[in-house]
Amino acid sequence: MKVILADYSGFCFGVKKAMDMVYDEIKEKGMEKELYSLGPLIHNQQVVEELENKGVKVEDDIEKIQKGSVIIRSHGVQKDVYSLAGEKSLDIVDATCPFVRRIQNIVENYHKDKYEIVIIGNPNHPEVIGINGWCNNQAFIIQEEEDVKKIPYSEKLCIVVQTTMSTPHFQKIAKLLEEKGNKIEIFNTICNATKERQDAARKLAKEVQAMIVVGGYHSSNTQKLVDICKEERPSTTYHVESVHELQDEWLIDIDVVGVTAGASTPQWIIDELLQKLNRI
Ligand code: F3S
């Protein structure tokens, strides 16, 4: 069986930067200072466990952290988390991805300028929750085309999009939103890493008989890759978190299989999967 890895897959720039910052912090401070990650650093169980073994504790609520350093992960956080950390004299290791930081800045500035803010994205995703915190939690958050009717007409509207949204989906919703305001600013804030991975996954899915997507089950960008591959290969796209879930029967009668990986999937997990596939 021939195994082909997508042209772009695995750790994106923002996740790699976050991982490097955390490992530097561990090296510098060792166990002498308590180190907390505000939520799992990345949506990958194996990596979270490895970091826990090195002393990085996961805490979802900053109110529960009394001392030490707090890592802000690449998804970013609400603005008030910074002031809370300051009040508690916590050190901040800020690994907010620059692409997410850009959205936070847009939202903050346009909110100050009295624009209504629309975030196209998953309302439960930490990145979106964080962005909303830069406009006083007053954004309209919509995910599907039918949600557009919930948006009232506004004089000034500023539209941003979650970094991991697919471009065609964003374009469709943004087009509908053009009817919802007089002065409208639309920012395509989908990050390149996402688009590159999505385009490469679609291209590869068209060329192979089956696709294996490897990445955390809670990783939004991995899930998007699964959705895209399923559009091309509805019955032969499989999502695994690690090599252990790979089932041999998926590959019966398959001559060419494609592999892609979410932006939070470490290279060693991809390598293990490739090695196993190459043995089949
Ligand atoms: Fe940043 Fe894009 Fe990765 S927003 S964290 S480079 S998926």
Could you read off the pLDDT tens digit of each residue along the chain, which spans 280 residues?
A: 999 999 999 999 999 999 999 999 998 876 667 899 999 998 788 888 889 999 999 999 999 999 999 999 999 999 999 999 999 999 999 999 999 999 999 999 999 999 999 999 999 999 999 999 999 999 999 999 999 999 999 999 999 999 988 889 999 999 999 999 999 999 999 998 888 999 999 999 999 999 999 998 988 889 999 999 999 999 999 999 999 999 999 999 999 999 999 988 999 999 999 999 999 8
> How confident is the model at residue 271, as a pLDDT?
96
Task: Quote the CA–CA distance of 216 and 234 in Å, as a whole number.
Answer: 20
> How confident is the model at residue 106, as a pLDDT?
98
* Per-residue CA distances from 112 to 45, 86, 151, 160 (Å): 39, 23, 20, 15
Pocket test for ligand 1, best of 9, 17, 43, 99 (most atoms within 8 A of CB): 99
Name residues contacting ligand 1 (CB within 6 A). 12-15, 74, 97, 99-100, 163, 191, 193-194, 221, 263
Identical topology for domains 13-96 and 99-190 = no
CA of 54 to the centre of ligand 1 (A): 24
Residues annotated in a binding site: 12, 43, 75, 97, 125, 163, 191, 219-221, 264
So what's the ipTM on this one? 0.99
Q: How far is CA 30 from the centre of its chain?
A: 28
**Which protein residue has the closest C-alpha to ligand 1 atom 2?**
191
CA of 279 to the centre of ligand 1 (A): 32
Q: Which of 127, 145, 155, 249 is catalytic?
A: 127
CATH code 3.40.50.11270 for 13-96:
yes
CA of 228 to the centre of ligand 1 (A): 18
Ligand 1 atom showing the smallest separation from residue 191 Cα: 2
Domain ranges of the chain: 2-10+193-279, 13-96, 99-190
Catalytic site residue 32? no
Task: Quote the CA–CA distance of 77 and 79 in Å, as a whole number.
Answer: 6
> How confident is the model at residue 118, as a pLDDT?
98
Residue 165 region by backbone torsions, left for phi larger than 0, else alpha for psi between -120 and 50, else beta: beta
Which CATH number does 2-10+193-279 carry?
3.40.1010.20
Query: Considering only CA atoms, which of 2, 9, 1, 75 is closest in space to residue 226?
Result: 9
CA of 14 to the centre of ligand 1 (A): 5
C-alpha atoms less than 13 angstroms from C-alpha of 101 in its C-beta half-sphere: 9
Helix (H, G, I), strand (E, B) or coil at 258: strand
Task: Quote the CA–CA distance of 134 and 194 in Å, as a whole number.
Answer: 23
Ligand 1 atom showing the smallest separation from residue 15 Cα: 5
> How confident is the model at residue 156, as a pLDDT?
97
Q: Are 189 and 161 in contact (CB under 8 A)?
A: yes
The DSSP H or E segment spanning 117 is strand 116-120
How many Å is the maximal CA-CA distance in the chain?
61
Written in H, E and C, the secondary structure of 19-61 is HHHHHHHHHHHCCCCCEEEECCCCCCHHHHHHHHHCCEEEECC
77, β-bridge pairs: none
Domain 99-190 fold is Cobalt-precorrin-4 Transmethylase; domain 1 (3.40.1010)
Question: pLDDT of 32-78, one tens digit each?
Answer: 678 999 999 987 888 888 899 999 999 999 999 999 999 999 999 99
Q: Is 172 exposed, middle or buried (0-12, 13-18, 19+ CB in 10 A)?
A: middle
> How confident is the model at residue 31, as a pLDDT?
64
Residues contacting residue 100 through CB under 8 Å, at least 6 positions apart: 14, 74, 75, 76, 127, 130, 131, 163
Q: Are 50 and 56 in contact (CB under 8 A)?
A: no
Task: Quote the CA–CA distance of 25 and 8 in Å, as a whole number.
Answer: 28
Q: What angle do CA 54, 59, 60 make, to 5 degrees?
A: 145
Helix (H, G, I), strand (E, B) or coil at 164: coil
